[in-house]
Structure 1
Amino acid sequence: MLRTKDVLGLPFVDATMDELMVELHFRLREGRKTFIVTANPEIVMHSRQDGEYARILHQADWLIPDGAGVVMASRLLGQPLSGRLAGFDVMERLLQLSDQHGYSIYCLGAEAEVIAKAVNRMREVYPNVRIVGYHHGFFDWNDRTLIEEIRAKEPDILFVGLGFPRQEQWIFRHLVQFRKGMFIGVGGSFDVWAGKVERAPEVWQRWNVEWLYRLLQQPSRWRRMLALPRFIALVVKERLVPRRR
């Protein structure tokens, strides 16, 4: 069982990547239904404005510190996490597990052309991976056709790339309808796999400015970046308040 630590009111996984994968592999072998959220500062801030979304995050089995900002905040607030667990890296490690142990995968999200390219690329990199189906992210949530298709294929892992908060909302809404499966929101990871967006070079990742690299590639994301200064202000406030007591 993975340990967690409270960071700004949310229970984040406190583990290394290897420790996380041991737990996830165990759950996959056991066929346990699992809901994973890869959370960055934007998700944290959205949860503080949307009570229903906050409730969804608390219902998840594991809340993973995807953003470096979450890890920095944990240290400043005296609840240091072991480190960042980048959502893309978790996805890649799950693909490796699937390639080695035969777990089946379904991919949901992105544009039709993008998801097709992403799946083809995954199959090239991991030739033994079993991707049993995929579907673009533009569909009617009330249409039962997609749900029935996924139910029939019973994937061990379902990657959901609808962007937050939609991917977590979709998983939470439909989780009860599936017998098993590991459900994880992967944001824009399909865009990276398809070659539509480049992932930041390792040096940018090491300096914890992957978000800036993404912003330079997609300037339209600037509105989302406004959550970062508010996140920093919240962390500073939370750090100072105990000192006043």
Structure 2
Amino acid sequence: MRVNILGVTVDTYSMSETAEKIKLAVSAQRPIRVVTANPEIIYASQYNWALKNVINSADIITADGIGVVWAARQLGTQIEERVTGIDLVQSLFPIANAEKWRMYFLGGRPGIAEQAVKQVAEDYPGIVFHTSHGYFQPHEESGILKEICEFRPDVLLVGLGAPRQEFWLAEHPGLTFVGIGVGGSFDALAGTVRRAPKQFQDLHIEWLYRLLKEPWRWKRQTVLPRFLFKVLWQRLKS
């Protein structure tokens, strides 16, 4: 089931349901594209029809953030839990380890994806990894595409930042069975960026922790009240 939030159709799947659908896609060798939709990218799609089309054409669109879960409930649809990019990736590692998946990390500053793989491989030695940083030049892209094709990943994680990663995956179909835009997940996996403490996560105020640690993000955080207002306006109109 999906809920229409400002014109973006978000799936109501739980984390375990999303992971299971990805597992089935890999097992069936059926290519799918996954978008983790947070309030920021949903709000941005209001003013970018190409972005909205790219999001809505994905096979799975997760509720990335408590703001999206709240929005769905305001619009009459229950979403059990948020399915963020980093949490989804971490939920896939045990499955990938058991199934001996091949996973490609594309994105981050030079060295970050490699460090992330080093950390993950300690706990999940059954996964075969390959990496490439996200600071490639246009003339280098063909080489990266060739490398991905030769590696034949089951899952391609693209951390180029939104919305670049969403457009990039849509523009390059057929590279993998499952392609997921994961934002800054590689930094978190590598340990170069600390996630909010569990207390902040349980209270669904990770955004506040990030703002306290990185006050220069305040302009980005102003999207949230504008997103909430638009959702309430959508509810009023409906």
Q: TM-score range by the shorter chain?
A: over 0.9
User: What letter is aligned with 1:197?
Assistant: V
Tell me the equivalent position of 2:196.
Answer: 200
Matched pairs, number: 237
1:233 counterpart = 2:210: no
- Distance in 2 (CA, whole Å) between partners of 1:173 and 1:199 is 31
Question: Who is 2:12 aligned against?
Answer: 14
Q: After superposition, where does 1:130-209 map in structure 2 within 5 Å? A: 130-131=128-129, 133-142=130-139, 143-176=141-174, 178=175, 180-209=176-205
Which residue is equivalent to 1:46?
Answer: 44
Q: Offset of 1:18 from its aligned partner?
A: 1.8
Sequence identity, in percent? Answer: 37
Alignment partners' CA distance in 1, 2:47 and 2:185: 25
Q: Deviations over 1:60-117 (max 9, x none)?
A: 1110001100000111111222221122111011121111110100000001122221
Matching residue of 1:77: 75
Equivalence for 2:208: 212
Question: How far did residue 223 of structure 1 move?
Answer: 2.0
Within 5 Å, give how 1:79-118 maps onto structure 2: 79-118=77-116
**1:147 positional shift:** 0.2
List per-residue Cα deviations over 1:141-199 (Å, max 9, x = no partner): 453110001011110000101110011011111114x3x42000111111111111111
Q: Give the alignment's TM-score, normalised by structure 2.
A: 0.95
Letter in 2 for 1:140: Q
Give unmatched runs, 5+ long, in structure 2. none
Contact 2:106 2:156 (C-alpha < 8 Å) held by counterparts: yes
Write the letter of the residue equivalent to 1:137: G
Distance 1:147 1:86 in 2: 26
SS at match of 2:150: helix
What CA distance in whole angstroms lies between the structure 1 residues aligned with 2:186 and 2:123? 14
- Scaled by the length of structure 1, what TM-score is found? 0.92
Query: SS where residue 112 of structure 1 aligns?
Result: coil
AA matched with 1:200: A
The answer on whether the counterparts of 2:13 and 2:62 sit within 8 Å (CA) in structure 1 is no
> Are 2:126 and 1:128 equivalent residues in the alignment?
yes
Q: Structure 1: any 5+ residue segments left out of the alignment?
A: none
The CA distance in 2 between the partners of 1:156 and 1:220, in whole Å, is 37
1:32–1:181 contact (8 Å) kept in structure 2: yes
- TM-fit CA distance, 1:215: 2.1
Supply the distance in 2 between the matched residues of 1:23 and 1:224 (Cα, whole angstroms).
32
Matched, 1:28 2:6: no
